[in-house]
Amino acid sequence: MEDPLISVIVLTCNGREHLEECLTALRNQTYPRVEIILVVNGSRDDSARFVRKRFGAAVRVIELPENRGYTGGNNIGLKSARGDYIAFLNDDTRVDLRWLEEMHKALESKPEFGMVACKIVSYYDPEIIDNVGHLVFRDGTFRGRGRLENDRGQYDRQEEVLAPSGCAFMTRRDILDRVGGFDEDLFIYGDDADLSLRVRLAGWKVIYVPGALVFHKYSATTGPYSPFKAFLVERNRFWLTVKCFPIGALLLSPFFIFLRLIFQAYGAVSGRGAAGKYCRQYSPFSLLGILIKANLAGLAGLPKMWKKRREIKSLQEVSDREFYRWLKKFSLSARELALKD
């Protein structure tokens, strides 16, 4: 029997310098049947031309006139994909040659496994961990685990995690058909968390596979904290809770938002955490302003998001109790969230 086809979708926006290494690693995978799709998300550089010359038709290049965000770009790539398994990858990476093989093996091992999270380490110093799955805070903020830790083998066991990082993960086509692709209203940030929660709510599990190794250059394209990023992170957090959280957790979340804000204020003052980094460049009052604007924008989108919530609930196979168990098991403390880098 033939191996099932795996489609890999890579998004790039003005990232020509990364593409040779990224795509070569995909061309050299040990897994035999691979389809590589590169979505050029509104680049001004000649990434498309470079890839066509270098890889010919072996990499399918899709050119979009404008940046459609992480969500729009990936969804377009998804429409073009023919594989039974779909992997998503950032362009500023190099994957291990057994990346697809390892993820595929994990997904095949149990039917309830719906998504695979990878071991993402720093490209520049592979002893430093970038992300090994996400943790969640009760206000809906997701944060990667293991960030900037030294790799002492503490994440070398295959285990269940809440969600993968959108930087590199794999899922199945039929699962995406069921829960829908990325939510394009989110545009960027939190979209991977949103998709993962929907997959989990529909009954599948997310498994972390340490053998699926990815070297990530990190913040090469996302950049430092900017007003734009802060706005979207906050607004999307709100929408995520509206869409996916059980009603109890949703109603409680303002308390946790408040708790986080206290820690972030402390972080802004003492120069620690994301708030601290932000305030090095911009005024702390502007941060507060942005948080308020973001929540207002979030409220403005409430009717639409509520409708999406109903759709998600209709597909929900897990109990709310189970959801609370996740919040507890995969939790992040407010202190860690606000003050850790």
Binding site for another protein (CB under 8 A): 45-46, 48-49, 52-53, 56-58, 60-65, 76, 79-80, 82
Q: How far is the CB of 275 from another protein (least distance, A)?
A: 38
Across 199-219, b (16+ Cβ under 10 Å) vs e yields bbbbbbbbbbbbbbbbbbbbe
CB closer to another protein, 48 vs 199: 48
CA distance 161 to 307: 28
CA distance 15 to 6: 24
CB closer to another protein, 22 vs 76: 76
Residue with tokens 């904290």: 225
CB closer to another protein, 61 vs 168: 61
Q: How far is the CB of 7 from another protein (least distance, A)?
A: 12
CA distance 289 to 255: 19
The 10 Å Cβ neighbour count of residue 222 is 15
Q: How far is the CB of 60 from another protein (least distance, A)?
A: 6
Q: How far is the CB of 61 from another protein (least distance, A)?
A: 6
CA distance 339 to 262: 11
CB closer to another protein, 18 vs 60: 60
Which residues are bridge partners to 38 per DSSP? Answer: 10, 61
CA distance 316 to 158: 26
Q: How far is the CB of 50 from another protein (least distance, A)?
A: 9
CB closer to another protein, 33 vs 272: 33
Q: How far is the CB of 303 from another protein (least distance, A)?
A: 24
Q: How far is the CB of 178 from another protein (least distance, A)?
A: 19
Q: How far is the CB of 58 from another protein (least distance, A)?
A: 6
Please give the backbone phi and psi of residue 322, each rounded to the nearest 5 degrees, phi first: -60, -40
Please give the backbone phi and psi of residue 129, each rounded to the nearest 5 degrees, phi first: -85, 140
Cβ atoms of residues 45 and 72 within 8 Å: no
Residue in 140, 132, 142, 122 with CA at minimum distance from that of residue 169: 132
CB closer to another protein, 56 vs 223: 56
CB closer to another protein, 61 vs 334: 61
Question: Residues 138, 146, 86, 328: what is their CA dihedral angle, to the nearest 10 degrees?
Answer: -30
CB closer to another protein, 82 vs 110: 82
